[in-house]
Structure 1
Amino acid sequence: MRSRGVQPRPGGSGPLTVRNGQQWLVAALALSSAMAIGRMPPRGARAPAVNPAPLPGAAAQGSIDHQSIPMLGDTPTAPVVALQHIANAATLGCIASPPHCPQTLTASLLAAGALAASTLGGGAMGYAFGRFTAPASDPEASRGASLPESLYALLPDEQRMQLLQIVRDCGSDTAACTAPAIHDLLETLPADVRHRIMTTLGVAQHRGSHTHGGWPSGADAAALAPALDWMDWAAALLGSVVTPAQAAFQLDLEQIAQATLEGQAGETTAAGREAAANRARFATLRELLQRDGHALQQLPFNGTTHDSFGFGTDYAGCNLMLEFSGGGAPAHTLMVLAHGDMIGAREGSSGASDNGTGLAALLALARRLGAVTLPPGVRVQLLVTDLEERGMLGAKSYAANCVQRADCPDVALNLDMIGRGDGMTLSGSDRHHLYMDGDSRALQPSAATVAPAETHLRQLLERAAADVGLRVHASPDWVMQSDHIAFQREGVPALGMNLADATDLPLERDMQQARAQLWMASDGVDWSRFEDYLEGTLEAQQAQEMDSALDEVEQARRTYLALPVSPSMTRIHNGQDQLHQVQPQRAMAALAVLEAAIDGWLQRPAA
């Protein structure tokens, strides 16, 4: 500009113009800093929309947005933006007034130091309270993943299992015990997983993602990353992601499901896969039930299940039972049961939901009951039934035998699929007649009278559910189809408990009613004359009666098959029944309800 004869104002001050090269540069820097203000991120964390705390084997990493709390990633945080502004201000001051540059730099360094102290102080505070950021115990508390849950979901399956074992084995002494062991675990992670964890913590940025920041670019360095070792921070957070009780529950469920899958792997036929899967499943159950030194009773039985034509199939099974008693002869007995067998091995089912969750709950109750002293005269029985999927044969055998021995429990509580659903169901003795199968179609049973012991247990369960925020579905005209029905039909007070989605219950109710109509229509056929009917040797009147009865069966069958299947029913008895279908926080809420109700019953059994 000087070469063109344009002279600056005396003293170098005055309004900015394109003729003032020095002040043009000042204006450009000011504009850069002002534009960066608009890119400052919100203070809150961005939680990824994923299921919380998936079980081992869920392979959930692909759906995780691993920058849940952006600190030094694609979008700079407020401390980084502030540092950029301080650097820009220092540059502006030195260019605009070189004589005052030393004072400007001194002020900038003081401001940067104050900012660093504030940021590092905040990081230390976050670390100190990091262990209290674990997921809320209320399953409705949050639908997104917290920071500990996001880190947990990033772990490969092997390290996730190791983490659960560390937390379980440390027990209540988690703070001093888990942190060093988890720190060692983190050191074994692959480099890419470690970088994703660092990104989630905000102490690293996505590779190749440096697209933001003001001028100069050095202001976007990681100088303000927490001075604490990121592995210590991650270890503290991961140690809080699950409780020792939840870790034990998940490990038991993992072991049951894995044994089921491994048992069926070498078989080629559908029948062979199912038999091998259940042998391996029960062998694992026996091992898990005996590991804490409890005396395990094995109760073999034989039974027969009838099909719609009245033909019977014979089976042999074995129930498993543990007993916990106070001093003296038992005057009051509570039984908690869950079926141990599964079907669907031909399609690769692990039986995790149906009914691995109920079995894991029994194992948790065994640990709890083994650690306390029961009141005198009080007994709690834990029963694993066999062949529930083949006509409730294990439960039918036990119920008939205990009636014959006059040694039945005061009340029984059956657990079946407690790992997912938006609420709890309770199926009482007044509903067992709604279920019909090949063994009960000719009985056409009526509703049973609800005994005081059953009413008392229901009240304890409903009160405990309210305490943990788990709603109880009313489910009118619906029945839970499981082992408690065998006890109810022998006159033994019993309840069935599971977790279910409210929207599934009307669909299941309609299907249950249609199936009952099909069984009743089938019972109207004289199947002993069916072969004569096919050969055309029946008299005309008999053939006409057979035609009419078969037409009713066919119409009932079409009505039944036309009904939609509930989503929960489509996820069992097939390859979809895997660990990732289980929601651990839901299962732990159900377990909390069970433990509270049992504690209440132990204090005051029903008369």
Structure 2
Amino acid sequence: MPSASIEHSRGVAGCFERRNGSLGSRSSRHAREQDAPRLLRIRNASGLFTACVLLASALPAGSASRREQPPVAPGPHRDALIPATGASAGPHSARGAPLLPQALPSISNGVIALCVAQPRHCAAAVTAGMLVLGVTGLAAATWPASRMTGAVSPVSPVQRLDRLEEEIERIELHGPDNAGTALLQIARDCGGEPQCRAERINALLETLPQATIAHLQELVAPIGEASASAQAAMAPWPGGADATPLLGDSPLLALAEALAMIYTPEAAAFQDDMETIVASTSSDTAAGASPGQRWIEANSRRQQVIAGLLQRDAGHVEWLPYAARGLGPLGMEDPSPAFNLRIRMPPAPGTAPARRLLLVAHGDMIGLSRGSHGAYDNASGVATLLHVARQLAAEAPLAGTQVDLLVTSNEELGLLGANAYITQCRECDDCPTMVINIDLVGRGGHSYVLSGSEALAASPYLGRAPMFLQAPTTSDTERREALAFERHFAANGFTRAVPGTALLMTSDNVAFQNASIPCIGIAQVSAVDAEAWVRLDTARMDWLACDVQVDWSRHEALRNGQLQLPADEVAELERRYHAADQAWQRLQALRADHPLAPPVLVHGANDRLHRVSAPMGVAFADALLDVVRHRRRDTPTRPPAATDTSHA
């Protein structure tokens, strides 16, 4: 029972304290007791219980125990839509009514009815009522509320916002746009003007069917208020089409402010960055060019555009040249001239920071001929860097950690850009002390995966093609950073999708981890997609383990009749071949069953711009920004070694 109900019951009990000598002589008291209704006799504990139950039964069920979660306060750069109204700005979490207040009237009514019908058995009825009430209280304290009342499990405010955005993206408007696109345009047009956004969002809501409005309000309002909200939404618009319900005490205010919190000017800027990058890659290439040449031209245009965006938001861009080798089989010049892009954020004046944090995202893409936009992989990661750069550029530099941004090239061809950067920084004794690699942002809501060196240590690529990795050193620095990362992301409403699972991200983080430079790989992935990712990764490793057991040259020679082997060797070779083939078939079946899981979503037609959510990307970027700001304020103790080589 909630504490408020306990205090109320104590107050009721206090009203029935027995007062000695206040009712006259014993004989007169006895005469009055004979004439009074026997139900209200309060001579012992059972009578006291009956009176308390009687009064408590008159209370509205659950009135003292129903509580709501506080509304979501507008976060950074998410101003309240109309602060002057004083209305709640965010959604509430759902809670079902507790069992005990619901059961109390029924128990008390049963006790009262039996006492009236059989006064002599009232004491027994009271005892039975107390027993039933105790069992009910125990059940209410130990059973899930959703099981007892049929209510859904509590939903956090950030989960409600994620669900609201998912529903908004499904609403089609007249023309090619959906409701999410229209709300982003409102954010672009109005910027930080709350009145403008209020009127424009109001006008957009008026165009939606009333049933759709009711459904959206149910996602925002608590479960207990959902039906009232739906009825209010189904009512005619007050004052006709020209009215502005958002400016008053409108039931649509909570919905409109939730939409304003999601579709911000920052989200519009994130979307614009992704669209600009994708458009540059999709431009026409020269007719008759080889696939390798088309790939080079497309990614060269993409890199030029990214450099321009970095210059716009963060200042001077360094073009770091290197020679990309091993591209001859792809029809490219070998070696090919290539570049990474680096931004060094201005440090605080005075002593140079002892620590350097490097934020990395690869800018190249692959799969253009198969319909890929390279949006999720990895225009979203570059847009995240741009968002962080804009915020940091607007702040005064603080002592602590120097922040650099790096956009690598040729990640898709074997982490060539990241490996070249590592070679260069080692030659100059200028390597970062901590690296965060961002790859895949804008899907999965407030959920993410984190990949460190401990995941790489179990990679099947150690010492084998195509990466020929070395066993990494897991540093204390990386472990501390991973814990801090989880703490700051949790403070921003994010949870790890598969906690405790060493999920391997085969992105640029692998190059840094392989060089024993502390690095964390991060991606925004839903729990469902992450679990599919784990299954796919496990199936891929199983296939690789089987594949390496097959002597494919001997198997091919045997099939072509060019090799004669004893029967037992033929049987063993065929057994290994069939094991590898079955493992491959299992992997392909999993890929077909999970077409939108991260390992399958990228490099093909599934990686399209409309599958990436700019608001989700901004929420992720803000959480990352919190990590960066914390490090910038962290006072360094002493200059660390160039690389952390402490062993796990």
| 2:438 paired with 1:427 | no
Distance 1:227 1:561 in 2: 61
Q: Return closer, same or farther for 1:246/1:153 CA change in 2, 3 Å cut-off.
A: farther
The counterpart of 1:586, out of the listed 616, 624, 629, is 616
The counterpart of 2:305, out of the listed 257, 280, 284, is 284
Distance 1:368 1:138 in 2: 25
The counterpart of 1:574, out of the listed 604, 623, 634, is 604
Aligned counterparts, 1:517-536, within 5 A? 518-519=543-544
SS at match of 1:292: helix
Distance 1:157 1:407 in 2: 49
Offset, 1:484: 0.3
**Aligned residue in 1 for 2:406:** 383
**Aligned residue in 2 for 1:27:** none
CA shift digits 1:367-405 (9 cap, x unpaired): 112112233363111111111111111111112322232
Q: Contact 1:532/1:538 (CA < 8 Å) preserved in 2?
A: yes
Query: Bigger shift: 563-572 or 388-397?
Result: 563-572
**Aligned residue in 1 for 2:187:** 167
SS at match of 1:478: coil
Offset, 1:554: 6.1
Distance 1:442 1:242 in 2: 42
Distance 1:599 1:141 in 2: 27
- 5+ unaligned residues in a row in structure 1: which ranges? 1-124, 187-192, 203-219
**Aligned residue in 1 for 2:359:** 336
Offset, 1:459: 1.9
Q: Return closer, same or farther for 1:373/1:456 CA change in 2, 3 Å cut-off.
A: farther
Q: Counterpart of 1:140 in structure 2: which amino acid?
A: Q
SS at match of 1:281: helix
**Aligned residue in 1 for 2:629:** 599
Q: Return closer, same or farther for 1:196/1:273 CA change in 2, 3 Å cut-off.
A: farther
Q: TM-score, normalised by structure 1?
A: 0.61
**Aligned residue in 1 for 2:320:** 299
Distance 1:442 1:280 in 2: 27
Distance 1:523 1:302 in 2: 31
Aligned counterparts, 1:174-213, within 5 A? 174-175=193-194, 196=207
CA shift digits 1:473-499 (9 cap, x unpaired): 225243112110100111100010012
**Aligned residue in 1 for 2:112:** none
Q: Counterpart of 1:372 in structure 2: which amino acid?
A: E
- What is the percent sequence identity of the aligned residues? 28
Distance 1:298 1:545 in 2: 56
Offset, 1:518: 4.9
The counterpart of 2:534, out of the listed 505, 509, 533, is 509
Distance 1:529 1:386 in 2: 38
**Aligned residue in 1 for 2:483:** 459
Q: Contact 1:457/1:597 (CA < 8 Å) preserved in 2?
A: no
Q: Return closer, same or farther for 1:377/1:460 CA change in 2, 3 Å cut-off.
A: closer
Offset, 1:424: 1.2
Distance 1:371 1:493 in 2: 28
Query: Bigger shift: 267-276 or 578-587?
Result: 267-276
Offset, 1:581: 1.3
SS at match of 2:522: strand
Q: Counterpart of 2:267 in structure 1: which amino acid?
A: Q
Distance 2:444 2:586 in 1: 25
Q: Counterpart of 1:174 in structure 2: which amino acid?
A: E
Q: Return closer, same or farther for 1:163/1:451 CA change in 2, 3 Å cut-off.
A: same
| 2:523 paired with 1:498 | yes
Q: Counterpart of 1:503 in structure 2: which amino acid?
A: V
Q: Return closer, same or farther for 1:544/1:299 CA change in 2, 3 Å cut-off.
A: farther
Distance 1:441 1:139 in 2: 42
- 5+ unaligned residues in a row in structure 2: which ranges? 1-81, 94-155, 214-234, 638-648
Aligned counterparts, 1:168-567, within 5 A? 168=188, 171=191, 173-175=192-194, 196=207, 224-225=239-240, 228=243, 242-263=263-284, 271=292, 274-292=295-313, 294-304=315-325, 316-324=337-345, 325-327=347-349, 328-376=351-399, 378-421=401-444, 423-437=447-461, 440-441=464-465, 447-472=471-496, 473-474=498-499, 476-516=501-541, 518-519=543-544, 552=576, 555-563=579-587, 564-565=590-591, 566=594, 567=596
Q: Contact 1:425/1:497 (CA < 8 Å) preserved in 2?
A: yes
Alignment RMSD, CA only? 4.8
Q: Counterpart of 1:575 in structure 2: which amino acid?
A: A
Offset, 1:285: 0.8
Q: Return closer, same or farther for 1:297/1:446 CA change in 2, 3 Å cut-off.
A: closer
Distance 2:237 2:540 in 1: 66
Q: TM-score, normalised by structure 2?
A: 0.58
CA shift digits 1:109-153 (9 cap, x unpaired): xxxxxxxxxxxxxxxx99957994699995412465489958996
The counterpart of 1:141, out of the listed 145, 148, 160, is 160
Q: Contact 1:341/1:388 (CA < 8 Å) preserved in 2?
A: yes
SS at match of 2:207: helix
Distance 1:294 1:253 in 2: 19
Q: Return closer, same or farther for 1:469/1:194 CA change in 2, 3 Å cut-off.
A: closer
Query: Bigger shift: 480-489 or 586-595?
Result: 586-595
Offset, 1:358: 0.8
Q: Return closer, same or farther for 1:146/1:409 CA change in 2, 3 Å cut-off.
A: closer
Offset, 1:515: 3.7
Distance 1:155 1:131 in 2: 31
**Aligned residue in 2 for 1:38:** none
Q: Counterpart of 1:408 in structure 2: which amino acid?
A: C
Q: Counterpart of 1:354 in structure 2: which amino acid?
A: D
Q: Counterpart of 1:228 in structure 2: which amino acid?
A: A
Distance 1:130 1:154 in 2: 29
**Aligned residue in 2 for 1:17:** none
Distance 1:302 1:132 in 2: 54
Q: Return closer, same or farther for 1:488/1:229 CA change in 2, 3 Å cut-off.
A: closer
Distance 1:326 1:244 in 2: 29
Q: Contact 1:261/1:349 (CA < 8 Å) preserved in 2?
A: no
Q: Return closer, same or farther for 1:441/1:596 CA change in 2, 3 Å cut-off.
A: same
Distance 1:198 1:537 in 2: 72
CA shift digits 1:49-81 (9 cap, x unpaired): xxxxxxxxxxxxxxxxxxxxxxxxxxxxxxxxx
SS at match of 1:383: strand
Distance 2:617 2:197 in 1: 23
Q: Return closer, same or farther for 1:380/1:525 CA change in 2, 3 Å cut-off.
A: same
Structure of higher RCO (CA pairs closer than 8 Å, 6+ residues apart): 1
**Aligned residue in 2 for 1:85:** none
Q: Contact 2:451/2:520 (CA < 8 Å) preserved in 1?
A: yes
